Amino acid sequence: MFAKAISGAVVGIDAELIEVQCDIALGLPTFTIVGLPQKEVQESRERIRSALKNAGFDFPAKRITVNLAPADLPKEGVGLDLPLALAILVATGQISGERLAEFLSLGELSLDGEVRPVKGVLPIALAARKNNLKGVIVPMGNAKEAAIVSNLEVYAVENLQQAIAFLNGELQLQPVTAEPTLFTSEGSLYDCDLSEIRGQEQAKRALEVAAAGGHNILLIGPPGSGKSMLAKRLPTILPPLSFDEALEVTKIYSILGLLPADRPLMLTRPFRAPHHTISYAGMVGGGHGLPRPGEISLAHHGVLFLDELPEFEREVLETLRQPLEERQITLSRAAAALTFPANFMLVAAMNPCPCGHRGDPKKPCRCSPLDVKRYRRRISGPFLDRIDIFIEVPRLTKEELMGKPVGESSAIVRARVERARAIQSERFRGEKIFANAQMGVREVRLYCPLEQNAQKLLERAIDHFNLSARGYHRVLKVARTIADLEESEIIRAVHVAEAIQYRHSEESLLEGGM
């Protein structure tokens, strides 16, 4: 007999429906799965055999052939266990298959018939709704995640017997609905606040400008000056994720199985801080079989923090140049060529020299000029050219260190950032630009009008600092953001002066010493 069930497989950060076609015929007992099944799918044969027997059903001693269509798409993961078992039971006449075509089923089977949670449920549920299926049958542990998708019935099962009883109409299950609290985001979701930072007012101002315009920023200072603390608090002053942004981020974390058990929807902006020993594949994505998202995709709509920047492999840093411009990464492998989103803010931190004390009034630097030069050359010029803001983070004074933290809270700063982002949203309405940092040459020319004094100041800066074309445009973008924070339509000289101050540090801090 022939039967089929519907399931799904993740491709990139999206999913495609998989038709599980099962044919059972007379012949020597075999169990063959075709349609590019990867190792995990091939191993499902033994899990299904044991699960059916331990759940009280017969496993047919016949020739079983299963095709996973479309046959040219590689199938990974263990989520096909449940639909495979259901298709076999329908083909052998042990259960009715009338309702099976209405639902997408997904889940891993343990040897005793328990249905275990799997990765990638959210994009698969979205694919089910897109293809007008009535609902999905998922493991209990994935029910809240699937319920995020509106206009789709989600039924959670704990074991194979429940799934069969539901399809036979012998068991009534209530559809799982998303709790309203899943869609509410408050600043308290962050466990840190900008007001906890002692001193560093100039660095906090630079952080605010970076957040308001989506600019990349490099923090330079001695060990213990607060660079990591500043970076970790950047997400707290960024605007809250919109629902569409949260859905994009959640899909990536769902695919990799990184969703928190109590939070099936990502509400806070991601903050990723990979170690400097990370590999090329770990940073941009890859792996065996179908490529998987890397750290730059996990930081999508959030912050990628690279501490001890010169310690990263040069090849790893160079791979970031294209994603920093295009906001996505395309990985071409033998199995497939997939594009992953990578719209992140880069925050990097480094010491001014190998020992970390160059320019420090308290501790003498032990590095020779040659040591400093070698340290500086670990970061290429083209990479530095993609950073908008360079800022010094000096050692705290005794008074700052021992006094109480004095400064604005993240909520106050975030309110200003949101107003600036609202101005940009209105400015770029109808365009695929969401912040000033994403402007191209045409947008810079169109949206960055300068008053006469600002024009003259920028001309002198080009001559004095020998700005490249990219550096010139980045100064204008930062100046546009500073003007937006002050709700000024035109860019004034004071805005350009502050933007130049953030740019000239590329020379003065990295070459001349703090």
* Position 182, amino acid: L
In this predicted model, what pLDDT tens digit does every residue of 479-507 receive, in sequence order?
999 999 999 999 999 999 999 998 765 55
Domain boundary among 131, 160, 178: 178
pLDDT for 511: 53
Same domain, 360 and 481: yes
Asked if residue 194 has pLDDT above 60, the reply is: yes
Domain residues for 78?
2-178
Q: Residue 514 domain-assigned?
A: no
Same domain, 296 and 214: yes
Please provide the size of the chain in residues: 514
Taking phi first (over 0 means left), then psi (-120 to 50 degrees means alpha), and beta for anything else, what does residue 13 get? Answer: alpha
Structure tokens, 424:
């940009």
Same domain, 75 and 163: yes
Same domain, 174 and 197: no
Same domain, 234 and 135: no
Same domain, 167 and 250: no
Domain boundary among 140, 157, 178: 178
Same domain, 172 and 209: no
Same domain, 274 and 160: no
- Indicate which CATH number applies to the domain containing 95: 3.30.230.10
In this predicted model, what pLDDT tens digit does every residue of 208-250 receive, in sequence order?
999 999 999 999 999 888 899 999 999 999 999 988 999 999 9
Same domain, 169 and 191: no
Q: How many domains does the chain have?
A: 2
Least confident of 28-42, 314-328, 350-364: 350-364
Q: Residue 108 domain-assigned?
A: yes
Domain boundary among 132, 159, 178: 178
What is the SS3 string spanning 326-395? HCEEEEECCCCEEEEECCCEEEEEECCCCCCCCCCCCCCCCCCHHHHHHHHHCCCHHHHCCCCEEEECCC
Please tell me the distance from the alpha carbon of residue 74 to that of residue 41, in angstroms, as a whole number: 10
Residue 90: band (very low, low, confident or very high) from pLDDT cuts 50, 70, 90: very high
Asked if residue 264 has pLDDT above 70, the reply is: yes
Same domain, 288 and 226: yes
Same domain, 306 and 191: yes
* 475-494 per-residue burial string, b: 16 or more CB within 10 A, e: under 16: bbbbbbbbbbbeeeeebbbb
pLDDT for 477: 95
Same domain, 162 and 202: no
pLDDT for 398: 75
Q: Residue 461 domain-assigned?
A: yes
Q: Residue 316 domain-assigned?
A: yes
